[in-house]
Amino acid sequence: MRSKNTNDLSAATELANKKSKWKLLGKQKGLLLMSVPFVLYIIVFRYIPLLGWTMAFQDYKPSNGFLNQTWVGMKWFKELFKSTDYVNGGTTWNVEFLRSLRNTVGMSLISTFLGYITAILIAVFLNEVRHIGIKRFVQTVSYLPHFLSWVIVTSLVANVLSVEDGTLNNLLLSLGLVKEPVQWLATPKYFWHIVGWSYVWKEVGWNTIVYLGAMTAIDPCLYEAAEIDGCGRLGKIWHITLPGIKPTIIIMMIMSAGHILDSNFELPFFLRNGMNIDVSNTIDLYVLKYGFKLFNFSIATAAGIFKNAVNITLLLIANTIAKKSGEERLI
């Protein structure tokens, strides 16, 4: 009898939970209806296009139709690293893709490192400024470039670095630091750094907002206690501010690890020229060339899949390391 009563009670509880869930959904039907367009957007523009990944495993010919293709397995992934030498026979290293991979990683690491350092420094500086007017002015000026398109940014960079009448060359000449104008965009060794600092100029103010938001969550009592103990400004920054935003820094680093092969497309594309082509080609430009100029959709798709696979792997590795170290993690 007791067992039967227990089962009846469990069934009644389960039924009540189901009714409460449906009741809750009924109350939130407005929010659910508002989310429908976004769900459809994700499905149509994010998930359905993944069917195109099958081209990386086919000898894709547009004239044959999507379902009438020859399957070639991992052929195009191998071609990314070792391409077939039709003249001498055998295979050779795919120097073009390997160079694009090197350039992508190099530019991404420089941009990420400079972006982190500058954003954290500016956020700490603004947090220490007590004059509200100065604080708002610096913050506004620093994040305004974020709203400029990369086309405008690259045009400004090209004008500033121009050989004939560039602002930077005129300044260096007037100060006597150089004897003749420097060909910044025509010298390969400068290109990665130009890309990195251009990214910093455009995005540093916007990235600073994240760390300023994290600083507002720090208990002001900690600063008061440190001041009573005789701690100066640098000491409070080192022992309170930076540890207070450490979880945010870790999360941002984990997210950046998932974008190592996602170097900015527009910046190298608009700044490259015949003199810096060896250091300006990225994986995205490689995909653009083979997909839309040479119409080799298979190897272009394989390059895109490789990029995403590496990004996801790096994201999981960074998250695992943070988890093992007892730090904040993304997932």
Residue 7 Cα distances to 2, 10, 11, 13, angstroms? 9, 5, 6, 10
Q: Take residue 165 and report the two structure tokens written for it.
A: 């009448």
Per residue in 240-264, pLDDT (tens digit) is 999 999 999 999 999 898 889 887 7
pTM: 0.85
| pLDDT of amino acid 132 | 87
Residue 203 Cα distances to 53, 76, 114, 119, 264, angstroms? 32, 36, 11, 9, 12
What is d(CA 12, CA 279) in angstroms, rounded to the nearest whole number?
Answer: 69
Higher pLDDT, 192 or 13: 192
Return the percentage of the chain with pLDDT > 90, whole number.
Answer: 56
Contact 251, 328 (CB under 8 A): yes
* Half-sphere exposure at residue 17, Cβ-oriented, CA atoms within 13 angstroms: 6
What is d(CA 277, CA 103) in angstroms, rounded to the nearest whole number?
Answer: 10
CB atoms within 10 A of CB 182: 17
Contact 43, 34 (CB under 8 A): no
- In the chain, the N- to C-terminal Cα span, in Å, equals 47
- The overall longest dimension of the chain from CA atoms, in Å, is 101
| pLDDT of amino acid 231 | 87
Per residue in 70-97, pLDDT (tens digit) is 899 999 999 999 877 666 667 788 999 9
Per residue in 192-206, pLDDT (tens digit) is 999 999 999 999 988
What is the average pLDDT across 150-165?
Answer: 92
What is the average pLDDT across 43-63?
Answer: 90
Strand partners, 58: 71
| pLDDT of amino acid 26 | 77
